[in-house]
Chain A
Amino acid sequence: MNDHKPELICPAGGLPALKAAVDNGADAVYVGFRDDTNARNFPGLNFGPDDTARGIEYAHRAGKKILLALNTYPQVHNWSVWTTAVDRAVELGIDAVIMADPGLLRYAASHHPGLRLHLSVQASATTYKALEFYHQRFGIRRAVLPRVLSLQQLWHTIANSPVEIEVFGYGSLCVMVEGRCALSSYITGRSPNASGVCSPAESVRWEETALGRESRLNGVLIDRHGLNEAAGYPTLCKGRYCTGTQPYYAVEEPTSLNILDILPDLFRHGIAAVKVEGRQRSPAYVASVARVLREALDTCASDPERYLVRSQWTAVLDRLSEGQTHTLGAYHRPWH
């Protein structure tokens, strides 16, 4: 256990967001190619070849790293798209690739032994035994953990892990074990694992009705929001449903994860990196979040004992959050 400063990993869905991340204090920026090889396969989002090269150049000039998410699961008919993406990552000089598929990890490890591999949250690894598997078989150097472990479970995993551990620090909260959620495909036919998208935009309809704003996914009513009620993404896990007569948030309220409260603990237990969710968000979001987290990490590093969350940080982050509010998620026992 050592008091070192975790890296700040920020998202970018395009070059302006990447620049915003680098300019506002990210140590590394994670990006995706413009196809279904990553879990934010949205129309018009992500990086073409030119943008990727320019982004890498921009980050490297500032001494920052670029990580590439190739974190969806290739299938038989499109396998070569993923392997080509791995090859391209190496040619472009990407600093590390974030992957989940065991077959693809094996490809990368055997064809590009010098390439740094990170295990994606989509691999659903929640124990050090699972991490040992990926480490021994493919030589992964870091793993991003699903947002399901309590703090005690997290400390135990870190203490026994053969690799560095990265956790989500801020952003929209996935309440399911990532990589093991097919809610989206059950309703729309497309899921994060197979298509790189949750609640695809083409299936989403919002309608302002007399009863409020209705959110529908492939025709299925997910929620109705009253006039001034804060809203969230139209994902199935954040809708209001009924087991009895009263609709309630049966799975999770629209909210975002925010770990500023437990930053000193994360330092103490040797977290390697803190990750911000949101490659689908705009440069304005990336800049604001990066700035707050940079300041928080630096403040905590300079004096972890006296570290206190500033109300201004929370205000900035809450404003950007789903439902305009935040939670510690699984790190906070009563949340379960």
Chain B
Amino acid sequence: MKISLGPIHYYWSKENVEQFYRSVEHWPVDIVYLGETVCAKRRALRNADWLDIAARLAGAGKSVVISTLALLEANSDLLQLEKICANAHYMVEANDMSAVHLLAGRSPFVVGPHINCYNSETLSLLAGLGATRWVPPVELPATTIAMLQNTRPEAMETEVFAYGHLPLSFSARCFTARADNVGKDECEQRCIGDPEGRALFTQEHERLFTINGIQLQSGIPCNLFNEMVPMSAMGIDIVRISPQFTATELVVRAFHAVLNGDYTSPEKGMPAVFCNGYWYGEAGMKCLSAEDD
């Protein structure tokens, strides 16, 4: 199995993004997804900046994919999408059917986790349009993914969201701005102050979700570290690690060690509290293990 680094879900400053990817050049990851997938108002990096980062990573031997916005609203969002889809150098991860439409029949593409692909017929349809890799929606259980593996089209790679705060929903409304009691039009990209999102608790102080602009994520990270053996047996090709502001390198190295048969310090870098319920076909927030069955 290969390791990929998903797109950064949060809004980081240009310097932070560039610094992050400069270190990624030395990490044991095979594929790196770049670009803004959450909010079109986050413009710290322009297309040229992303392409510079892409070139450096490609030079370091990484396979680079440009990810597209999940929720498109304004016409300017579409124009930006058209530019990305027309780029001649890098593969594109489509996170909306608008992107699939623009890429279909033109160049091979990745079906991102925000495309609702729940069955073989849809997967084969997307393969026919040029998809060569797909990331199942985060709520799909292992049993369903396994069934899809049995019927997946030839040359279709499967990439599982294996680590990170799960992207659960998108809205027109900005929840970060709302938390600070300002309108979205006056947000001033304040989410840049929350490089790992903002924690949302129930009235009983339970960590429920993570606010990330117009997106809600799981309160605790999903972690399929302990599922790598069954994943490998199922023929999963790639595990995706979703970047956090801190400690992402430790997670990457832990996954890499286990993939290379090194079980000496498997817990190093892993969070104490995590969830994996979706993998077992249960509530996503649950934390289960194979022995629970």
Q: Give the B-binding residues of A (Cβ under 8 A).
A: 73-77, 79, 100-104, 106-107, 123-127, 129-130, 132-134, 136, 147-150, 153, 156, 175-177, 179-183, 185-189, 191, 193-194, 218, 220-224, 237, 239-243, 247, 250-252, 330, 333-336
Contact = CB atoms under 8 A, between A and B. Distances in A.
A106 B121 contact: yes
Most chain A CB inside 10 Å of its own CB: which residue of B73, B114, B175, B178: B73
Interface string B195-206: 000111111111
Interface in B37-81: 70-75, 77-78, 81
Nearest to A79: B119
A185 B118 contact: no
B121 A104 contact: yes
Contacts of A189: 277, 281-284
B8 interface: no
A165 B39 CA distance: 25
B93 to A, nearest CB: 16
B90 to A, nearest CB: 20
A336 B166 contact: no
B162 interface: no
Contact of B75 (A134, A156, A241, A335): A156
Contacts of A179: 116
Contacts of A223: 203
Interface stretch (B12-20, B95-103, B228-236): B95-103
Interface stretch (B144-152, B247-255, B256-264): B144-152
Contact of B97 (A73, A133, A148): A133
Contact of B199 (A104, A153, A243, A335): A243
Given A75-B118, A102-B122, A336-B184, A185 B278 contact: yes
Interface string B91-133: 0000011101110100000000010111111111110000000
A187 B220 CA distance: 12
Nearest to B124: A103
Contacts of A193: 116, 118, 137, 139
B216 interface: yes
Contacts of A221: 202-204, 206
A103 B75 contact: no
A241 B201 contact: yes
Most chain B CB neighbours (cut-off 10 Å) among A77, A104, A147, A186: A186
Contacts of B124: 103
Given A191-B139, A194-B139, A185 B283 contact: yes
B138 A182 contact: yes
A72 to B, nearest CB: 9
Nearest to A153: B73
B89 interface: no
Please report whether the interface of chain B is mostly helix, strand, loop or mixed according to DSSP. Answer: mixed
7 tightest A-B contacts by CB?
A103-B121, A148-B172, A103-B122, A133-B101, A336-B184, A186-B284, A73-B118
Contact of B169 (A180, A243, A247): A180
B168 interface: yes
B173 A336 contact: yes
A175 to B, nearest CB: 5
Nearest to B286: A189
B183 A241 contact: no
Nearest to B281: A189
5 contacts: A76-B148, A103-B121, A103-B125, A193-B118, A237-B169
Q: Pick the most buried of A73, A182, A220, A237: most chain B CB atoms within 10 A of its CB.
A: A182
A103 B120 contact: yes
B42 to A, nearest CB: 15
B154 interface: no
A251 B77 CA distance: 24
Contact of B102 (A129, A183, A330): A129
A274 B218 CA distance: 34
Nearest to A222: B202
Nearest to A219: B206
Contacts of A186: 139, 166, 168, 218, 277-278, 283-285
Given A133-B101, A336-B184, A180 B179 contact: no
Contacts of A156: 75
B171 interface: yes
Given A243-B200, A250-B200, A177 B102 contact: no
Nearest to A333: B185
Given A183-B168, A183-B169, A186-B166, A336 B183 contact: yes
